[in-house]
């Protein structure tokens, strides 16, 4: 274990656990960026998958789990993080290596953070920081994690839906649940106005507390539900098009099927996906499948979820998606004149425009130079950034909906909205990199 010096803290009174962790985490300094959010605090999954089970060892130290910590406990937790600084930096380096090997091996199943964070910390403790020669170790770890991981659950699902009586029962449930969703008469104006606060700047504790209160009010508002229900009506009167933002291939939104979809390949948008495809994605993403309901109940729950507005059951997830769509339609990395309405969208837009591949694309377009087909695909997505952004945001919120993870914390939701843009951008970068590597080898 590292013998890093004790982190200097001056904790005179009880403090929220999150504040204590954030301050101690920032005290580590450089080297843990891949385990951190854009604000420098640890990612939610870093706390869930590394700090709580492996650093704080909450099962043995339950005093560290309280939401508000006594001064002595807060000091002890800060010292524990400081003492593990070396291992945490090494874990971040292992995560970078595993992600690189994951891309090389073309592995797409499972959430990388959920799956790899604990393994990376274990590697950091047992092997230290990775060396350039540790690629073989990373490949071995990935193959062990992923080999046969999906097969049993997916085969069980396939056998379940091969029964015609099962599909017939799920179809009846689908038809009834779809008919139950009807839009109300609430006006969207107040909700959208409240987003100016949620997605705006908050300077100081009072402003941040006010922003949290506004978000809690918006979660309880009927507008997100109503907008999702309106999306199914003829001539839907929405602030944006569900087709243009990439959530559906057709407007109005159509009732999904249980197992067979007319859409194929990359054209399948989130709201077009079949119920079984959604369940299959859940099984592939899940790390602890024993915590999921059994297959029949999982399918039944997904039918209700597919029929709910926006394909999401919980009101906080529906509100988060509408907030994300509002951000998405503001993002235009290739258009210099585009000015987002919200402060958060402005921050995301500024980061996107600084990306080297975005600057390169803008120069190419300005010069009228020919583009490689893979470059053209990325440029097309940059020109309609709302499509990949909204699609990826929906997938994340769907996962939270399945696992019943709350979206009630406004700072957490803002971090999710920023993280989605970063994820799309990383995907673009990797595709450009793969194109360049291909050109070098041919």
Between 186 and 282, name the one with better pLDDT.
Answer: 282
Local confidence band at 428 (pLDDT 50, 70, 90 cut-offs): confident
Round to whole Å and give the CA distance between 16 and 65.
Answer: 11
Please check the confidence at residue 201 and state whether its pLDDT lies above 80: yes
Tokens encoding 225: 């539900």
pLDDT, tens digit (0-9, with 9 covering 90-100), for 37-93: 888 899 989 998 999 999 999 878 888 988 888 999 999 999 999 999 999 999 999
Local confidence band at 264 (pLDDT 50, 70, 90 cut-offs): very low
138-142, 287-291, 431-435, 436-440: range with lowest mean pLDDT: 436-440
Instruction: Please enumerate, as own/partner, the contacts of 64-72 that have beta carbons within 8 Å and a separation of 24 or more.
Output: 65/17, 66/17, 67/16, 67/17, 68/14, 68/15, 68/16, 68/17, 69/14, 69/15, 69/16, 69/17, 69/20, 70/14, 71/11, 71/12, 71/13, 71/14
Confidence (pTM): 0.68
Cα-Cα end-to-end distance for the chain: 47
41-55, 274-288, 346-360: range with lowest mean pLDDT: 274-288
Round to whole Å and give the CA distance between 432 and 378.
Answer: 8
pLDDT, tens digit (0-9, with 9 covering 90-100), for 5-31: 444 444 456 788 989 999 999 999 999
Local confidence band at 103 (pLDDT 50, 70, 90 cut-offs): confident
User: Which burial class, exposed, middle or buried, applies to 285 when counting CB atoms under 10 A from its CB (0-12, 13-18, 19+)?
Assistant: middle
Most confident of 223-232, 257-266, 376-385, 427-436: 223-232
DSSP state of 245: T
Q: Under a CB-based contact definition with an 8 Å cutoff, are residues 376 and 431 in contact?
A: no
pLDDT, tens digit (0-9, with 9 covering 90-100), for 314-350: 999 999 999 999 999 999 998 888 899 999 999 999 9
pLDDT, tens digit (0-9, with 9 covering 90-100), for 148-161: 555 667 788 888 99
Give the pLDDT of residue 420.
95
Nearest by Cα to 323 from 254, 250, 236, 397: 397
Domains of the chain: which residue ranges? 152-441
Give the pLDDT of residue 1.
42
Local confidence band at 419 (pLDDT 50, 70, 90 cut-offs): very high
pLDDT, tens digit (0-9, with 9 covering 90-100), for 180-194: 999 988 889 999 999
Give the pLDDT of residue 362.
78
Local confidence band at 237 (pLDDT 50, 70, 90 cut-offs): confident
pLDDT above 90 coverage of the chain, percent? 60
Round to whole Å and give the CA distance between 405 and 397.
Answer: 9
Please check the confidence at residue 441 and state whether its pLDDT lies above 70: no
Round to whole Å and give the CA distance between 213 and 218.
Answer: 9
Give the pLDDT of residue 305.
96
């Amino acid at each position: 274990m590292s013998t890093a010096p004790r982190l200097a803290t001056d904790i005179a009174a009880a403090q929220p656990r999150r504040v204590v962790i954030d301050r101690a985490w920032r005290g580590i300094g450089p080297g843990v960026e891949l385990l951190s959010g854009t604000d420098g605090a640890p990612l939610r999954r870093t706390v869930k998958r590394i700090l709580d089970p492996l650093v704080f060892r909450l099962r043995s130290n339950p005093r560290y789990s309280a939401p508000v910590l006594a001064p002595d406990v807060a000091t002890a937790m800060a010292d524990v993080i400081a003492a593990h600084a070396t291992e945490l930096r090494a874990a971040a380096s292992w995560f970078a290596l595993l992600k690189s090997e994951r891309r090389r091996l073309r592995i797409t199943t499972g959430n990388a953070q959920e799956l790899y964070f604990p393994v990376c910390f274990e590697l950091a403790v047992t092997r230290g920081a990775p060396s350039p020669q540790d690629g073989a170790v990373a490949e071995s770890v990935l193959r062990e994690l992923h080999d046969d991981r999906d097969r049993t659950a997916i085969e069980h699902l396939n056998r379940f839906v091969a029964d015609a009586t099962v599909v017939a029962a799920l179809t009846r449930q689908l038809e009834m649940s779809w008919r139950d969703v009807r839009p109300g008469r609430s006006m969207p104006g107040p909700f959208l106005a409240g987003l100016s606060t949620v997605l705006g700047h908050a300077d100081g504790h009072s402003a941040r507390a006010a922003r949290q209160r506004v978000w809690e009010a918006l979660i309880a508002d009927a507008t997100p539900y109503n907008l999702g229900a309106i999306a199914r009506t003829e001539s839907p009167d929405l602030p944006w098009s569900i087709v243009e933002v990439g959530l559906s291939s057709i407007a109005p939104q159509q009732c999904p099927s249980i197992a067979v979809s007319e859409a194929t390949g990359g054209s399948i948008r989130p709201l077009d996906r079949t119920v079984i495809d959604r369940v299959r994605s859940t099984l592939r993403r899940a790390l602890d499948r024993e915590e999921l309901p059994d297959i029949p109940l999982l399918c039944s729950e997904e039918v209700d979820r597919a029929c709910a507005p926006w394909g999401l059951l919980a009101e906080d997830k529906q509100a988060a998606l509408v907030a994300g769509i509002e951000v998405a339609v503001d993002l235009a990395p290739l258009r210099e004149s585009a000015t987002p309405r919200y402060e958060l969208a402005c921050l995301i837009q500024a980061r996107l425009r600084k990306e080297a591949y975005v600057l390169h694309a803008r120069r190419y377009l300005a010069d009228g130079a020919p583009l490689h087909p893979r470059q053209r695909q990325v440029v097309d997505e940059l020109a309609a950034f709302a499509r990949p952004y909204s699609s990826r945001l929906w997938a994340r919120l769907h996962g939270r909906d399945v696992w019943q993870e709350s979206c009630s914390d406004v700072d957490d939701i803002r971090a999710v909205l920023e993280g989605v843009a970063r994820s799309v951008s990383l995907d673009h970068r990797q595709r450009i990199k793969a194109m360049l590597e291909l050109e070098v080898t041919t």
